[in-house]
Amino acid sequence: MKTLVLTLVAQRDATTLSDDIIATAQECMHSTHSPSVLSPGEAADIICPADAAERLPLLQAALGDKPVDAVLTHPAARRKHLLVSDMDSTIVAGETLDDLATHAGIGDKIAAITARSMNGELDFATALRERVALLKGFPASLLEKAWQDVRLNDGAKALVQTMRAHGAYTALVSGGFTFFTERVAALCNFQEHHANTLLSDNGFLTGETGQPVLGPDTKLHLLNTLSQRHHLAPEQALAIGDGANDLPMLQAAGLGLAFFAKPVVREKITAQINHTSLRTALFAQGYPASVFPGP
């Protein structure tokens, strides 16, 4: 009999994955299996019938405002051999271009365009050109100041390092800039990174990017290229992102995770992290917390 695996993860700082929450999930999903604990009080797997996906909305309604994420996966090929992750608002907490604009004193103008782009209201390439053009003439040294504001999201290092330790290949891909992806990739130990190039001349930003612009199609192409290069089937890939430009790769991956995603993404991607951290991307693959690296 075919089955699915329900992974429940509680927000560690706000609540505990209690026996009552697990019992509610078992009832909603018609599961008669005992949970497999991945992290005491935080995460557990529950084997469910193959039609459990139809009852996921019922479970989410039963959980209400409890800060608990519920992700359904297929038991076959749970542990992915490829990770392709977005950077801004996924691996790092903010939008690096918005941070750069804040230091330039035009944060509100650029953040408004960013929000429309991530919600799918503007073509990505057009939105990027508009935002970068507003930076023309500002000193390139602002990039270093913006870097000082960058903070990794909880679980980012653990995600990359755990998957690499178990044989996965990892790539960071962003519609932002290589100035940031190079540094974030090094911090987390990604094996490669891809982004746009922000052009400067004599120490000042030109208001242009290198061509071609890396956008949604490029992210999907990278996922497919790396899968082929490493001789992996689509179901062996994990993609994570939050914005409209991540949708093509999220939909193509064996497991596409919407991480605190924009509404347009949550409407189309079932596997979502809305309350917890990037640790959930490991739990959803069946990894116990005992194999995560230390701080």
Question: For each of the chain's 295 residues, which pLDDT tens digit applies?
Answer: 689 999 999 999 989 999 999 999 999 999 999 999 999 999 999 999 999 999 999 999 999 999 999 999 999 899 999 999 999 999 999 999 999 999 999 989 888 888 888 888 888 888 888 899 999 999 999 999 999 999 999 999 999 999 999 999 999 999 999 999 999 999 999 999 999 999 999 999 999 999 888 888 999 999 999 999 999 998 999 999 999 999 999 999 999 999 999 999 999 999 999 999 999 999 999 999 999 997 6
Count how many residues are written for the chain. 295
The CATH 3.30.70.260 portion of the chain extends over: 1-76
| Integer angstrom CA distances of residue 167 from 83, 162, 194, 286 | 11, 9, 21, 15
- How does DSSP classify residue 202? T
- Catalytic residue list contains 86: yes
The CATH 3.40.50.1000 portion of the chain extends over: 79-96+151-199+209-295
- Catalytic residue list contains 99: no
Q: Tell me the C-alpha distance between 87 and 82, whole Å.
A: 16
- Two structure tokens written together for 185: 């990739």
Question: Among the options 45, 69, 86, 98, which is catalytic?
Answer: 86
Architecture of domain 79-96+151-199+209-295: 3-Layer(aba) Sandwich (3.40)
The reported pTM is 0.94
What is the pLDDT at residue 284? 98
Question: Among the options 45, 69, 88, 242, which is catalytic?
Answer: 88
Helix (H) or strand (E) holding 5: strand 3-10
What is the pLDDT at residue 89? 96
Homologous superfamily (CATH) for 1-76: ACT domain (3.30.70.260)
- Two structure tokens written together for 42: 């935080």
Number of H helices and E strands in the chain, helices first, is: 12, 12
